[in-house]
């Protein structure tokens, strides 16, 4: 074990940013800032190693820790010129957690530590402000009781409310604070506990509490949700207190070196005069804009106006910090009687579009390379820049307006609790979570809600930070609404919105609208995004195609950067009214001849659809999957529809019913579908292939370059593919001969059954390409069906049996192994085999990293995920460069 305690202050530090795993994010940052000569209150950091040792030894302190802390406290006393526990010149400290990965608001903090009945008098004398001293003492007693002694804060709030009888804090006198302190102490005493008078004992207990807070329920849930490992432990930062609430010359604030909502290069932030930092973060006070750039209101009381010199100093320091860290910084500061202190700086959270704007700007400013820019943006956030917006022409009634803290439009039923949002979610209903403010208890509700509204709090409140992280539309500080939890409704002007009513919110404008308001598909990408994604494409090796079943989706995806279609499903072509009737005739025809006649009617309809798709993808490959679902999906299920169909086709009801019974399947997913249809009723696939090649030949005459890839689904043996392939080729050649044209085409297969992965060698000899259908492959490998897993999946996620829904986040260790086996064996048998993925996981960054690593050629995903996939593909390629 190396050094246990790292000191910082007075322009020096034992540690630095490089020691983040050991000192935590906050500790490393404080050390770094101190080294940079920035005005950081002095203090020291107890390392994460100490924390892990503490866990391993059932909460016992390791040898030497007490001594090292005493030494550090001595140095701190020297640096501050104050004395810990001194009744005349007391040193007060904060004790804060700081893990290697940031978990905002998840863990514990104790402020004003060092106060007791004697030192409070010293503080009063020292500051000449007894009211401030007793207010600080009151806060300390309550916080220590809650955080360290574990007494629920509602017990303190109850006596406090009783005592205040509606008075505001500002109206309380020194005597009131003293009375409150006595009442709090009684609460603690009634719980058979006590706050030690000795500051060193206080410190020891507070350090223990911070260590323990690493494993509290919220923190664990947050880490699970964010995929943060549980074995890092937390560092503890002990730092001399500075006070933003020492009067008119004091203040506290949070600022960003750039606008975290849109990435604009403006200094941006909020402040609160005469307040402590916790007041801003907790969202219990609505803060003021830092400067003109932070507000639309020219009359706002900004720090820039109120304390121009301090503001100028802050402006200078923030620029220095950004240049040093080469990224947008989120900085906490406190002004104590006119003196500026920086308490923390860290990489600022930002909206997805801001994150791209900032990354691109930093490259243009010469601060970072393109590769660094690519690494900086979280791939999955790119889906969010394509989020829907409110239709400007839609009729809408704005009933309230709050702070626009996370962009995007969302529409859902009102839920006032996390539970209510989850209940709606389980019913498949969208919800908007409406709260006074949010806390870590609300995380699960926020996760399932479409959007979040809070009546209180600012741009850096819990709700705003978390919602931005999740990429969810969010409005905070909406003081125009009055939330009544008990009656489950909120008032907004003349409107009363009850639980379950529909509302629409616009996180980009802060508007709350009554009912469902029409939204528009996301705007086309900005030039910045396009530039950014061009850099990604230069780096990526994996190509990105799209799943698209019609010309419109194909065009859209092409605009978003797709370089082909990896999956064009053809089911819907049989479901359109005319085609459906013919399809039904076909299914009910007694002979192959009758089936062929019926199919003949479907052919021209499909040919036109294929033409649209091919035209949109001129010059790019289009993989078309032949019919996949079980045939009974094309027949009616309800009695009246069966009667109507029988009449339409001139059949007896009973004959139709017999056929329906014959087609019924117990497990349709594992039934007569995919190539099993192609093998037993070749005329269906033959018709599709004819439609494909007739469309291609028509377009070839117009000089459209068509590159069809015919894909046979659900192969489990090479023989199935051999049979289907042979007639696909036959029909293709026959059609091209008939049109006298020559189309460059491929025949391949979807690999979506475990056996196909294992048999890939034999199958590859019949195929020019493989496309892993990871949806079905995941379902078969796990043995559960997407339609039925809802009965146990929520429980599985909650209990941590599954970390993620494997249909959303690719299961690398299970399904991944089969994909790897299939790829290796396929390539071994056929080195020219083109291999891609066309399941949902083609747009899952987790999956994309894996698919890159095993050397696939492309992924295919839904159009809106194409930018995500392009970025993830680049990031996957960069992993190898480091």
Between CA 533 and CA 522 the distance in angstroms is: 17
Q: Is 856 in contact with 787 (CB distance < 8 Å)?
A: no
Task: Check residue 643 for interaction with its own copies (CB under 8 A).
Answer: no
Between CA 277 and CA 250 the distance in angstroms is: 11
Between CA 154 and CA 161 the distance in angstroms is: 10
Taking CB under 8 A as the criterion, the residue among 5, 599, 710, 753 binding its own copies is: 753
Q: Which of 256, 230, 324 is nearest to 29 (CA)?
A: 324
* 566-595 residues near its own copies, rule: CB under 8 A: none
Taking CB under 8 A as the criterion, the residue among 88, 795, 855, 879 binding its own copies is: 795
Q: Is 233 in contact with 207 (CB distance < 8 Å)?
A: no
Q: Is 262 in contact with 284 (CB distance < 8 Å)?
A: no
Taking CB under 8 A as the criterion, the residue among 10, 49, 612, 665 binding its own copies is: 665
The 10 Å Cβ neighbour count of residue 312 is: 11
**Which 3 state secondary structure label does DSSP give 707?**
strand
- By residue count, the chain amounts to 882
Please give the structure tokens belonging to residue 771: 């496309």
Segment near its own copies (CB under 8 A); pick from 177-185, 227-235, 499-507, 806-814: 806-814
Task: Check residue 792 for interaction with its own copies (CB under 8 A).
Answer: yes
The sign of the dihedral angle between the CA atoms of 556, 561, 565, 571 is negative
Shortest Cβ 824–its own copies spacing (Å): 13
Between CA 597 and CA 587 the distance in angstroms is: 11
Question: Count residues contacting its own copies (CB under 8 A)?
Answer: 48
User: What burial letters (b/e) apply to 786-812, b meaning 16+ CB within 10 Å?
Assistant: eeebeeebeeeeeeeebeeebbebbbb
Shortest Cβ 770–its own copies spacing (Å): 16
Q: Which is nearer to its own copies, 316 or 787 (CB)?
A: 787
Segment near its own copies (CB under 8 A); pick from 450-458, 485-493, 666-674, 833-841: 666-674
Shortest Cβ 853–its own copies spacing (Å): 18
Q: Is 452 in contact with 474 (CB distance < 8 Å)?
A: yes
Task: Check residue 815 for interaction with its own copies (CB under 8 A).
Answer: yes
Q: Which is nearer to its own copies, 282 or 802 (CB)?
A: 802
Task: Check residue 683 for interaction with its own copies (CB under 8 A).
Answer: no
Find residue 333's DSSP bridge partners: 253, 342
Q: Which is nearer to its own copies, 117 or 817 (CB)?
A: 817
Shortest Cβ 593–its own copies spacing (Å): 18
Exactly one of 212, 255, 411, 462 is catalytic; which is it?
462
Q: Which is nearer to its own copies, 164 or 676 (CB)?
A: 676
Taking CB under 8 A as the criterion, the residue among 174, 448, 669, 797 binding its own copies is: 669
Element at 745 (helix H, strand E): none
Q: Which is nearer to its own copies, 593 or 813 (CB)?
A: 813
Shortest Cβ 435–its own copies spacing (Å): 30
Shortest Cβ 608–its own copies spacing (Å): 31
Task: Check residue 717 for interaction with its own copies (CB under 8 A).
Answer: yes
Number of helical H runs and strand E runs in the chain: 34, 32
Segment near its own copies (CB under 8 A); pick from 400-408, 418-426, 592-600, 811-819: 811-819
Burial class of residue 30 (count of CB atoms within 10 Å of its CB; 0-12, 13-18, 19+): buried
- Helix-strand-coil split of the chain, %, nearest 5: 50, 15, 35
Instruction: Kindly list the distances between the CA atom of residue 123 and the CA atoms of 31, 87, 179, 184, 244, in Å, as whole numbers in the listed order.
Output: 28, 8, 18, 20, 15
Q: Which is nearer to its own copies, 649 or 679 (CB)?
A: 679
Between CA 215 and CA 193 the distance in angstroms is: 23
Shortest Cβ 662–its own copies spacing (Å): 8
Taking CB under 8 A as the criterion, the residue among 679, 705, 729, 878 binding its own copies is: 679
Element at 227 (helix H, strand E): none
Task: Check residue 727 for interaction with its own copies (CB under 8 A).
Answer: no
Q: Which is nearer to its own copies, 55 or 782 (CB)?
A: 782
Q: Which is nearer to its own copies, 259 or 781 (CB)?
A: 781
Rg over alpha carbons for the chain, rounded to the nearest Å, is 32
Element at 12 (helix H, strand E): strand 12-13
Shortest Cβ 752–its own copies spacing (Å): 8
Taking CB under 8 A as the criterion, the residue among 667, 740, 831, 882 binding its own copies is: 667
Taking CB under 8 A as the criterion, the residue among 155, 179, 482, 670 binding its own copies is: 670
Taking CB under 8 A as the criterion, the residue among 76, 818, 871, 877 binding its own copies is: 818
Taking CB under 8 A as the criterion, the residue among 309, 486, 799, 880 binding its own copies is: 799
Q: Torsion-angle region of residue 339: left (phi > 0), alpha (psi -120 to 50) or beta?
A: beta
Task: Check residue 783 for interaction with its own copies (CB under 8 A).
Answer: yes
Taking CB under 8 A as the criterion, the residue among 781, 809, 846, 860 binding its own copies is: 781
Question: Is 462 a known active-site residue?
Answer: yes
Shortest Cβ 734–its own copies spacing (Å): 22
The 10 Å Cβ neighbour count of residue 880 is: 9
Task: Check residue 280 for interaction with its own copies (CB under 8 A).
Answer: no
Residues 6+ apart with CB under 8 A from 670: none
Question: DSSP states of 67-78 as a string?
Answer: HHHHHHHHHHHH
Q: Which is nearer to its own copies, 458 or 674 (CB)?
A: 674
**Cα angle for residues 754, 759, 765 (degrees, 5° grid):** 135
Q: Is 272 in contact with 285 (CB distance < 8 Å)?
A: yes
Segment near its own copies (CB under 8 A); pick from 125-133, 318-326, 736-744, 810-818: 810-818
Q: Which is nearer to its own copies, 666 or 831 (CB)?
A: 666
Taking CB under 8 A as the criterion, the residue among 339, 719, 738, 828 binding its own copies is: 719
Task: Check residue 785 for interaction with its own copies (CB under 8 A).
Answer: yes
Shortest Cβ 791–its own copies spacing (Å): 4
Question: Is 838 a known active-site residue?
Answer: yes
Shortest Cβ 561–its own copies spacing (Å): 33
Segment near its own copies (CB under 8 A); pick from 134-142, 176-184, 321-329, 800-808: 800-808
Q: Which is nearer to its own copies, 228 or 758 (CB)?
A: 758
Task: Check residue 846 for interaction with its own copies (CB under 8 A).
Answer: no
Taking CB under 8 A as the criterion, the residue among 329, 779, 830, 862 binding its own copies is: 779
Task: Check residue 755 for interaction with its own copies (CB under 8 A).
Answer: yes
Between CA 798 and CA 564 the distance in angstroms is: 38
User: What burial letters (b/e) apply to 51-75, b meaning 16+ CB within 10 Å?
Assistant: bbbbeeeeeebeeebeebbeebbeb
Element at 280 (helix H, strand E): helix 277-281
Q: Is 264 in contact with 274 (CB distance < 8 Å)?
A: no
Task: Check residue 752 for interaction with its own copies (CB under 8 A).
Answer: yes
φ/ψ of 125, rounded to 5, equals: -65, -45
Task: Check residue 788 for interaction with its own copies (CB under 8 A).
Answer: yes
Exactly one of 255, 411, 675, 838 is catalytic; which is it?
838
Between CA 381 and CA 601 the distance in angstroms is: 45
Burial class of residue 150 (count of CB atoms within 10 Å of its CB; 0-12, 13-18, 19+): exposed
Taking CB under 8 A as the criterion, the residue among 671, 705, 739, 824 binding its own copies is: 671
Q: Which is nearer to its own copies, 585 or 759 (CB)?
A: 759
Catalytic (active-site) positions: 462, 838
Residues at the interface with its own copies (CB under 8 A): 665-672, 676, 679-680, 714, 716-717, 719-720, 723, 752-755, 758-759, 776, 779-785, 787-789, 791-792, 795-796, 799-802, 811, 813-815, 817-818
């Amino acid at each position: 074990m190396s050094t246990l305690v790292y000191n910082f202050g007075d322009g020096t530090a034992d540690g630095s940013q490089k020691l983040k795993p050991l000192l935590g994010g906050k500790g490393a940052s404080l050390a770094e800032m101190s080294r940079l000569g920035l005005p950081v209150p002095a203090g020291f950091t107890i390392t994460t190693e100490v924390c892990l040792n503490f866990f391993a030894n059932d909460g016992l302190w390791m040898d030497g820790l007490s001594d090292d802390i005493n030494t550090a406290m001595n140095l701190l006393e020297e640096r501050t010129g104050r004395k810990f526990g001194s009744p005349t010149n007391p040193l007060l400290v904060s004790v804060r957690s700081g893990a290697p990965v940031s978990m905002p608001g998840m863990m514990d903090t104790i402020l004003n530590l060092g106060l007791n009945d004697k030192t409070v008098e010293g503080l009063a004398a020292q500051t000449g402000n007894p009211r401030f001293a007793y207010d600080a003492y009151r806060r300390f007693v309550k916080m220590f009781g809650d955080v360290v002694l574990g007494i629920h804060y509602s017990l303190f709030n109850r006596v406090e409310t009783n005592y205040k009888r509606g008075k505001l804090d500002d109206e309380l006198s020194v005597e009131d604070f003293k009375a409150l302190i006595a009442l709090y102490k009684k609460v603690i005493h009634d719980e058979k506990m006590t706050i030690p008078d000795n500051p060193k004992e206080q410190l020891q207990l507070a350090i223990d509490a911070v260590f323990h807070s690493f494993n509290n329920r919220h923190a664990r849930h947050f880490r699970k949700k964010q995929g943060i490992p549980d074995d890092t432990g937390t560092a503890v930062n002990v730092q001399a207190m500075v006070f933003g609430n020492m009067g008119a010359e004091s203040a506290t604030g949070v600022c960003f070196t750039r606008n975290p909502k849109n990435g604009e290069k403006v200094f941006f932030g909020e402040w609160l005069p005469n307040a402590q930092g916790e007041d801003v973060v907790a969202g219990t006070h609505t803060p003021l804009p830092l400067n003109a750039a932070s507000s639309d209101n020219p009359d706002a009381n900004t720090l820039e106006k109120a304390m121009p010199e301090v503001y100028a100093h802050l402006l200078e320091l923030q620029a220095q910090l950004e240049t040093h860290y080469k990224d947008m910084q989120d900085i906490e500061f406190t002004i104590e009687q006119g003196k500026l202190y920086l308490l923390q700086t860290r990489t600022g959270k930002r909206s997805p579009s801001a994150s791209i704007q900032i990354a691109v700007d930093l490259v243009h400013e010469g601060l970072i390379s393109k590769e660094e820019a690519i690494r900086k943006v979280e791939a999955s956030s790119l889906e969010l820049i394509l989020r829907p917006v409110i239709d400007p022409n839609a009729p809408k009634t704005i009933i309230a307006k709050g702070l626009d803290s996370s962009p995007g439009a969302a529409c859902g039923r009102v839920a006032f609790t996390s539970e209510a949002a989850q209940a709606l979610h389980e019913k498949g209903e969208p919800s908007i979570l409406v709260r006074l403010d949010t806390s870590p208890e609300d995380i699960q509700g926020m996760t399932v809600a479409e959007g979040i509204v809070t009546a209180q709090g600012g741009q850096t409140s819990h709700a705003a930070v978390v919602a931005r992280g999740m990429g969810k539309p969010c409005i905070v500080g909406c003081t125009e609404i009055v939330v009544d939890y008990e009656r489950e409704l909120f008032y907004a002007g003349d409107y009363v919105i009850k639980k379950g009513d529909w509302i629409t919110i616009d996180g980009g404008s802060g508007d709350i609208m009554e009912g469902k308001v029409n939204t528009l598909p996301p705007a086309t990408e900005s030039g910045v995004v396009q530039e950014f994604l061009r850099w990604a494409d230069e780096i990526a090796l994996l190509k990105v195609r799209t799943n698209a079943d019609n010309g419109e989706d194909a065009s859209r995806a092409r605009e978003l950067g797709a370089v082909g279609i990896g999956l064009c499903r053809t089911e819907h072509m049989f479901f359109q009214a005319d085609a459906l009737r013919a399809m039904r005739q076909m299914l009910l025809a007694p002979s192959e001849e009758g089936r062929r006649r019926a199919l003949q009617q479907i052919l021209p309809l499909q040919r036109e659809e294929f033409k649209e798709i091919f035209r949109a993808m001129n010059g790019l490959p289009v993989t078309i999957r032949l019919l996949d679902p079980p045939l009974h999906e094309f027949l009616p299920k309800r009695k009246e529809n069966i009667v109507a169909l029988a009449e339409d086709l001139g059949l007896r009801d009973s004959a139709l019913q017999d056929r329906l019974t014959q087609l019924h399947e117990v497990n349709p997913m594992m039934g007569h579908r995919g190539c099993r249809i192609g093998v037993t009723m070749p005329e269906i696939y033959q018709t599709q292939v004819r439609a494909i090649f007739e469309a291609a030949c028509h377009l070839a005459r117009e000089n459209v370059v068509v590159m069809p890839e015919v894909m046979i689904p659900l192969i489990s043996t090479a023989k199935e593919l051999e049979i289907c392939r042979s007639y696909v080729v036959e029909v293709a050649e026959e059609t091209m001969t008939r049109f006298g044209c020559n189309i460059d085409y491929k025949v391949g297969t979807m690999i979506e059954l475990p056996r196909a992965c294992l048999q890939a060698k034999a199958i590859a000899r019949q195929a020019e390409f493989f496309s892993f259908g990871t949806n079905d492959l995941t379902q078969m490998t796990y043995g559960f069906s997407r339609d039925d897993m809802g009965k146990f999946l929520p429980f599985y996620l909650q209990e941590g049996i599954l970390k993620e829904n494997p249909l959303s986040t690719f299961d690398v260790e299970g399904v991944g192994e089969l994909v790897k086996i299939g790829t290796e064996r396929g390539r071994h048998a056929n080195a020219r085999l083109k291999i891609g993925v066309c399941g949902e996981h083609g747009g899952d960054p987790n999956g994309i990293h894996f698919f890159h690593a095993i050397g696939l050629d492309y992924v295919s995903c839904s159009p809106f995920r194409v930018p995500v996939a392009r970025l993830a593909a680049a990031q996957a390629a960069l992993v190898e460069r480091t």
